[in-house]
């Protein structure tokens, strides 16, 4: 994660460290002064003990703590923690011993320099500082790990989405070129129109649909263009209806998320039905959601294998829905008697 993307409490590291030690200094100074009633002497004591507190804290969080949170050697960590506890207490006690601002109360000259009976209590009372430092380090590591995992998940999802979207292009192009080839064989006058519409569609797919979301109005334009392109093949043979309820307004939708449902109805329905194919599409645009329903006739010889023989189109869009609209979509695909029905509900992203 780039430094400028970190929260403010993870930036300006030197200033935060300085603020921490100023707070520690003031806290011990005022606490001692409140007990002893001597602000100057306690100021000098707090100042004299600060090097021991700083050295002890940084040696703990940078030399001892990593054995637990990074190397996971908890046995060695416990052993080093015990050693550090006594050394830290000794440094604190030694600072008081050498300074001794209250000789009338504490006669250190009559006590051994290394006095376990004095060292352990000092370490216990002062070890809160390394503990707080360790808690900050552990929280920082946890937060950065969470952000790293989140970023990796987002990058993985983006890569998968790009792969899925890249599959749409050749899949669509293959189907459309088949249509174009068929019209070319019969030297249809519609061929130039198909080439032009195909060019517009590919321009949108390759260059203008790279954003995660696009205006719904633009997506509907592409959907209508594709429908017009497909309808050129059928003349009056195709029973086709396309109803839109509601206004596209300012809604945004994932690009090319609706097209595969419509494309599937033509490829696996109308194009296979040599009798009287039918495709009925309804699109309901509501303030909270969008609901698409596509019904296409199923040729008699395809009734048994139609749901499984979807090709990559529907499987592709189903995965994209899971990635882009987790928990915010419903997709139902089933065969009912002699028709194939797709119902897709998408809740608008806030």
Instruction: Kindly state whether residues 61 and 185 are assigned to the same domain.
Output: no
CB atoms within 10 A of CB 41: 15
- Return the half-sphere exposure (C-beta side, CA atoms, 13 A cut-off) of residue 99: 19
- Predicted TM-score (pTM) of the model is 0.56
Q: Are 329 and 346 in contact (CB under 8 A)?
A: yes
Distance between CA 18 and CA 243 in Å, rounded?
A: 67
Instruction: Kindly state whether residues 79 and 37 are assigned to the same domain.
Output: yes
Report yes or no on 139 lying in a domain.
no
- Return the half-sphere exposure (C-beta side, CA atoms, 13 A cut-off) of residue 45: 21
Checking DSSP bridges between strand 339-347 and strand 289-297, what pairing results, if any? antiparallel
Last residue of a domain, one of 78, 104, 126: 126
Instruction: Kindly state whether residues 111 and 191 are assigned to the same domain.
Output: no
- Residue 25 has φ and ψ, to the nearest 5°, of -60, -50
Last residue of a domain, one of 126, 150, 171: 126
Domains in the chain, number:
2
Instruction: Kindly state whether residues 74 and 28 are assigned to the same domain.
Output: yes
Checking DSSP bridges between strand 239-245 and strand 339-347, what pairing results, if any? unpaired
Report yes or no on 17 lying in a domain.
yes
Q: What contacts 24+ positions apart, CB below 8 Å, involve 209-212?
A: 209/165, 209/255, 209/256, 210/255, 211/255, 212/161, 212/254, 212/324
pLDDT along the chain (350 residues), means of 10: 58 87 91 81 86 94 91 91 91 76 53 67 88 92 84 69 60 66 69 75 74 88 84 76 91 88 78 74 94 87 51 76 90 86 89
Report yes or no on 138 lying in a domain.
no
Report yes or no on 284 lying in a domain.
yes
Last residue of a domain, one of 126, 144, 172: 126
**Nearest CA among 228, 220, 168 for reference residue 198:** 228
**42, 132, 144, 301 from 138: Cα distances, Å:** 32, 10, 10, 64
CATH number of the CATH domain containing 312: 3.30.565.10
First to last CA, the chain: 26
Query: Would the CA dihedral through 301, 302, 303, 304 be positive or negative?
Result: positive
* Residue-level pLDDT at 62: 93
Instruction: Kindly state whether residues 188 and 312 are assigned to the same domain.
Output: yes
Distance between CA 330 and CA 286 in Å, rounded?
A: 15
Report yes or no on 141 lying in a domain.
no
Instruction: Kindly state whether residues 174 and 245 are assigned to the same domain.
Output: yes
Report yes or no on 177 lying in a domain.
yes
Instruction: Kindly state whether residues 92 and 174 are assigned to the same domain.
Output: no
Distance between CA 295 and CA 243 in Å, rounded?
A: 12
* Residue-level pLDDT at 129: 93
* Residue-level pLDDT at 72: 87
Instruction: Kindly state whether residues 218 and 329 are assigned to the same domain.
Output: yes
* Residue-level pLDDT at 330: 94
* Residue-level pLDDT at 304: 54
Instruction: Kindly state whether residues 117 and 236 are assigned to the same domain.
Output: no
Instruction: Kindly state whether residues 82 and 191 are assigned to the same domain.
Output: no
Instruction: Kindly state whether residues 24 and 88 are assigned to the same domain.
Output: yes
Report yes or no on 146 lying in a domain.
no
Contacts of 257 (CB under 8 A, 6+ apart): 219, 317, 320, 321, 324, 346
- Write the DSSP string, 22-79: HHHHHHHHHHHHHHHS-HHHHHHHHHHHHHHHHHHHHHIIIIITHHHHTS--HHHHHH
* Residue-level pLDDT at 132: 93
The domain of 104 spans: 3-126
* Residue-level pLDDT at 1: 44
Q: Are 259 and 175 in contact (CB under 8 A)?
A: no
* Residue-level pLDDT at 294: 94
**208, 274, 315 from 154: Cα distances, Å:** 22, 46, 21
Instruction: Kindly state whether residues 173 and 299 are assigned to the same domain.
Output: yes
Report yes or no on 33 lying in a domain.
yes
């Amino acid at each position: 994660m780039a430094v400028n993307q970190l929260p403010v409490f993870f930036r300006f590291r030197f200033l935060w460290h300085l603020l921490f030690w100023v707070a520690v200094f003031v806290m011990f100074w005022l606490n001692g002064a409140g007990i002893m009633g001597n602000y100057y002497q306690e100021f000098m004591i707090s100042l004299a003990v600060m090097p021991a507190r700083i050295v002890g804290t940084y040696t703990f969080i940078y030399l001892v703590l990593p054995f637990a949170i990074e190397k996971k050697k908890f046995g060695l960590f416990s052993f080093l923690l015990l050693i550090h506890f006594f050394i830290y207490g000794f440094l604190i006690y030694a600072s008081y011993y050498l300074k001794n601002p209250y000789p009338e109360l504490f006669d250190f000259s009559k006590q051994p320099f290394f006095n376990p009976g004095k060292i352990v209590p000092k370490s216990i009372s002062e070890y809160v500082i390394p503990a707080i430092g360790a808690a900050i380090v552990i929280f920082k590591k946890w937060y950065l790990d969470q952000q790293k995992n989140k970023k990796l998940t987002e990058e993985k999802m983006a890569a998968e989405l790009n792969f899925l979207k890249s599959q749409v292009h050749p899949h669509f192009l293959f189907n459309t070129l088949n249509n174009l080839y068929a019209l070319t064989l019969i030297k249809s006058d519609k061929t130039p129109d198909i080439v032009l519409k195909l060019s517009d569609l590919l321009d949108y797919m390759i260059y203008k649909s790279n954003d995660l979301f696009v205006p719904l109005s633009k997506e509907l334009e592409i959907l209508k263009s594709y429908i017009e392109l497909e309808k050129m093949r059928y003349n009056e043979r195709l029973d086709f209806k396309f109803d839109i309820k509601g206004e596209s307004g300012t809604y945004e939708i994932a690009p090319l998320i609706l097209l595969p449902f419509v494309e599937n109805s033509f490829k696996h329905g109308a194009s296979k039905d040599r009798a009287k194919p039918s495709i009925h599409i309804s699109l309901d645009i509501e303030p909270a959601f969008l609901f698409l329903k596509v019904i296409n006739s199923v040729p008699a010889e395809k009734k048994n294998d139609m749901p499984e023989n979807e090709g990559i189109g529907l499987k592709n869009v189903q995965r994209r829905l899971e990635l882009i609209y987790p928990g915010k979509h419903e997709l139902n695909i089933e065969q009912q008697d002699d028709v194939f029905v797709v119902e897709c509900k998408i809740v608008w992203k806030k």
